[in-house]
Copies of this chain bind each other. A is one copy, B any other.
Amino acid sequence: MSTPTPVFLDCDTGIDDSVALAYLLRSPAINLVGVGTVSGNTDSAQAARNTLDLLAVAGRDDIPVAVGAHDFTSHPYDGGAPHVHGDNGVGDVVLPTSSQPIDERTAVQLLIDLSHTYAGTLHLLTIGPLTNIAAALAADPTLPERIAAVTTMGGTALAAGNISPVAEANIGNDPEAASVVFSADWDVTIVPLDVTMEHTLSDADRHALLESPSPLARTVGEILDHYLDFYLPQYGERVSSLHDPLAAVIAAGAATITRAPLVPVQVDTTNGPGRGQTVVDLRGQRLGDRNHEGVRTRFVRDVKSGTAAHLVEVITS
């Protein structure tokens, strides 16, 4: 068996972040070495609280969790998405409070420190706005030299946005940061709404989590309840989009990606109607994927189904 990949997770925990976190903790392909939090679904302090409490449920008090940016690069945090994620970010489920202290470092410093500890092998997985990562690049421009790869849940090309007609929340909340991150000198795999909206977890999957002997799986099952309510009007049934979990499965190398061209991705940082959009050059792709030379951003367009079953299997293991 190959060595698990050391992963730094930057997140805004968050219901689907919770599912992703549980998966990363249980996946044999992943060694989660640190977590930074950022505002997005909830604020960065609450996201750290939720993350620590979930780690405690999983019996893991060895993973440092550091609080990152409360406000975005160019504007203040605006209160998140309580209608989607509940008032506390985890579907209003009250988690037992972990006794593990929050790491004293900032999320930026923790990421930079771990990039030295795991130089050349550290995988960066981001499932929130990219505020911390842009700040880390500003603080240490050599960071990309020590990062093996970046996987980012965010953006959309040929699917509708979720915070504007064309903008997805993680990118749209901090377009300036996303623009910096996508322009840096590293390999980025973008996991956009184009695919995450097509991979769903059903209420039956949720019940499989609830019936597990694993406290972590049961907790995730409870948290998901709120999310399935939110998505009911969009899908016509109680299912959950697998935004962050799909990115985690891709980071673990456990997804069969069938379309993911290397294409230029620009982030709209104007104040026009397209603000926060990932402008992705998908021209000339009618006959199949066409990679642009010299481009290091891979835009995931299609992933084989079976994600929910895989998530349930790993989280309940």
Contact = CB atoms under 8 A, between A and B. Distances in A.
B235 A286 contact: yes
A160 B282 contact: yes
Given A158-B160, A160-B285, A234-B284, A165 B274 contact: no
A161 B273 CA distance: 17
Interface string A243-285: 0000000000000000000001011111111100101111111
A75 B222 CA distance: 57
Contacts of A235: 286-287
A58 interface: no
A162 interface: yes
B286 A279 contact: no
A266 to B, nearest CB: 4
A21 interface: no
Contacts of A165: 264, 266, 279-283
Interface string A102-126: 0000000000000000000000000
Interface residues of A, number: 33
B285 A274 contact: no
Contacts of A236: 286-287
A166 interface: yes
A137 interface: no
A272 B273 contact: no
A159 interface: yes
A158 B197 CA distance: 14
Given A161-B283, A273-B274, 11 more contacts: A164-B279, A165-B279, A165-B280, A233-B284, A234-B284, A234-B287, A235-B286, A235-B287, A268-B272, A270-B271, A272-B272
9 closest Cβ pairs, A-B complex: A274-B274, A270-B272, A270-B270, A266-B273, A165-B281, A273-B279, A160-B282, A160-B283, A268-B274
7 contacts: A160-B281, A160-B285, A165-B280, A165-B283, A268-B272, A270-B271, A270-B272
